[in-house]
Structure 1
Amino acid sequence: MKEIDIDRIQEILVTAATDIGLKILAAIVFWVVGRWLIGFALNILRKGLEQQKLDPTILRYVGSVVSVTLNILLVIGILGYFGIQTTSFAALIATAGIAIGAAWAGLLSNFAAGVFVIVLRPFKVGDFVTAGGVTGTVKEIGLFSSTIYTPDNIATMVGNTKILGDTIQNFSNSPYRRVDLKCQLAGAADQNAAMKLLREKIGSIPNVLQDPAVEVNILEFNLVGPVLAVRPYCNNDHYWQVYFDSNRVMSESLTAAGFPAPVATQNMVMKQN
């Protein structure tokens, strides 16, 4: 009798283990195939949207939303295959969603802000901006945060809420940008000749625009002498090249023309009794 019970128990365990093993194997197959189908569907969606010539920002955002939705449906389908009631699971998600929503209020606000960034379009992927206190090139506008690469090539993720709640400067919105520089002259220097020389030399730098023309004017005076405001214009892509070339040209051209070096001097008067 005892042997019969043991054999029966072993048979039940083997049957149950086999059934569970097959279901786990099937779930793995469903997951792999489902993920492949999701990727295939996303590729079709992306190609279809690209044919409509939509902005890359919208393409990435729509792709992210569709990907998350399809993956959730895939998980629910696999759980249903295991016999878990999806209606109960959906109710559980809805109930948990309230608690999660309260705990993840920041993430949800970032998501909502991301939607507004897409709709209002203060910038797009590839623009050079200052947003959320970070200056750089926008590489991605995600569901919860946007990725900005700073000029020193550091990837910085900024929450969409911070971006939308802060001042946004889009340097790529205009076809050109002004480069603001200063040039210190000696007090004895001929300032008019220096301004004429700098307009000519800086205007010949590659990628400096002729319209608007280079601006060179007296900005202020200090103890050394007059300070010139030197302002060439260029495309945003050439900003740093024009910035550094202008500084180099100012130094070389003024030195070659024989202008005195701007050196701070202080006169001392000594009296003897």
Structure 2
Amino acid sequence: MDQLLGDNQEFINQITEIVMNGGVNVLLALLILIIGYMVAGAVKRTVIRISQQNPRIDDTLANFFASIARYAILLVVFIAVLNRFGVETTSLVAAIGAAAFAVGLALQGTLSNVASGVMLVFFRPYSLGDFVEVAGVSGTVKDINLFTTELATPDNKTIIVPNGQAWGDVITNYTVKPTRRVDFTFSISYDDDIDKAMDVVRAHFDADDRVHKEPEFFIGVKAHGESSIDLTARAWADTSDYWGVYFDAMKGVKEAFDKNDIEIPYPHAVEISKDA
């Protein structure tokens, strides 16, 4: 009887020791994960802050370097957690290397996004805050990370573009240059004086201080339309003034045409009736 109680007590002690050790390991692993996650976030914020203080590093590179630093710390945390449970990380690295090849074949698209993200950051066809058109969509660049580019549309929608599609498609950057040319087409009647109409248009743009004197404003006859003479006008302005110049000209030229009795033709429908 005493032998049986002794064996049971020894078994209970072994179970208790295993549970205690396992519980301690679980608690330590959770503690490592929590602290590691907090440190990764703090390092990311620190990298961004230090990068922003360097005038040679723009916000795009700052976010990219911060993301790399965060993922690197999280990888170290993951290995530390495995060590806590007694996993041999040397053999694990070898196993991961062997599995990485197979995973790489299955995740070619994802790896392509990572490679494209690196290309986007180092060649910088666009930066944070630029208004761009990529992969057939337009918006202001809000974030560039290893996998995606985040755009915000003028009507406040968020568009996520995989970096592979962004890098592999045509990229149009509307704000990277300090100046832009604003193009217009104004139509007048065949009965109107062309030179007078051109002078009226020129006077509007000469009065707009946002329009640059160099390159010089241009206006000329673009086409003889079916019911109108089409004038083309080209004005240069700061990129930030592009839409202001455009909208004000569309309104101001129409009002100037009205004051000078210049007709803006529009399609007319002719109804022909036949008596029975």
Preserved contact between residue 203 and residue 232 of structure 1 (Cα < 8 Å):
no
Q: Is the counterpart of residue 89 in structure 1 residue 92 in structure 2?
A: yes
| Counterpart AA for 2:94 | A
Preserved contact between residue 147 and residue 162 of structure 2 (Cα < 8 Å):
yes
The 5-angstrom pairing of residues 138-157 of structure 1 reads 138-157=141-160
C-alpha distance in structure 2 between counterparts of 1:75 and 1:266, whole Å: 74
Preserved contact between residue 143 and residue 149 of structure 2 (Cα < 8 Å):
yes
| Counterpart AA for 2:90 | T
The 5-angstrom pairing of residues 122-161 of structure 1 reads 122-161=125-164
Cα 1:265–1:46 change in 2 (3 A) is closer
Preserved contact between residue 79 and residue 89 of structure 2 (Cα < 8 Å):
yes
**For 1:68, which of 67, 71, 77 is the aligned residue?**
71
Cα 1:250–1:123 change in 2 (3 A) is same
Equivalent position of 1:28 in the other structure? 30
Secondary structure at 1:208's aligned position in 2?
coil
Point out where structure 2 has 5 or more consecutive residues left out of the alignment. none
Equivalent position of 1:259 in the other structure? 262
Preserved contact between residue 76 and residue 86 of structure 1 (Cα < 8 Å):
yes
Cα 1:116–1:189 change in 2 (3 A) is same
| Counterpart AA for 2:111 | L
Secondary structure at 2:47's aligned position in 1?
helix
What is the CA deviation profile of residues 56-84 of structure 1, one whole-angstrom value per residue up to 9, with x for unaligned ones? Answer: 11111111111111101111101101111
Preserved contact between residue 202 and residue 249 of structure 1 (Cα < 8 Å):
no
**For 1:232, which of 231, 235, 239 is the aligned residue?**
235
**For 1:220, which of 219, 223, 227 is the aligned residue?**
223
What is the CA deviation profile of residues 113-171 of structure 1, one whole-angstrom value per residue up to 9, with x for unaligned ones? Answer: 22222222222222222222222322222112212223333222222222222222222
Secondary structure at 1:217's aligned position in 2?
strand
- Residue 172 of structure 1 deviates from its aligned partner by 2.5
| Counterpart AA for 1:145 | T
Secondary structure at 1:180's aligned position in 2?
strand
Secondary structure at 1:227's aligned position in 2?
strand
C-alpha distance in structure 1 between counterparts of 2:206 and 2:180, whole Å: 15
C-alpha distance in structure 2 between counterparts of 1:142 and 1:70, whole Å: 16
What is the CA deviation profile of residues 7-51 of structure 1, one whole-angstrom value per residue up to 9, with x for unaligned ones? Answer: 544443333222222221111212222222333333443344334
Aligned length: 270
C-alpha distance in structure 2 between counterparts of 1:17 and 1:268, whole Å: 94
C-alpha distance in structure 1 between counterparts of 2:22 and 2:196, whole Å: 90
| Cα RMSD, aligned residues only | 2.5
Name which of structure 1's ranges 37-46 and 150-159 shifts more when overlaid on structure 2. Answer: 37-46
Name which of structure 1's ranges 240-249 and 76-85 shifts more when overlaid on structure 2. Answer: 240-249
C-alpha distance in structure 2 between counterparts of 1:68 and 1:241, whole Å: 43
Aligned-pair identity (%): 29
Secondary structure at 2:32's aligned position in 1?
helix
Point out where structure 1 has 5 or more consecutive residues left out of the alignment. none
Secondary structure at 2:142's aligned position in 1?
strand
- Residue 245 of structure 1 deviates from its aligned partner by 1.5
Equivalent position of 2:42 in the other structure? 40
| Counterpart AA for 2:47 | L
Equivalent position of 2:83 in the other structure? 80
Secondary structure at 1:196's aligned position in 2?
helix
- Residue 90 of structure 1 deviates from its aligned partner by 1.4
Q: Is the counterpart of residue 57 in structure 1 residue 60 in structure 2?
A: yes
| Counterpart AA for 2:44 | L
Secondary structure at 1:232's aligned position in 2?
strand
Equivalent position of 1:17 in the other structure? 19
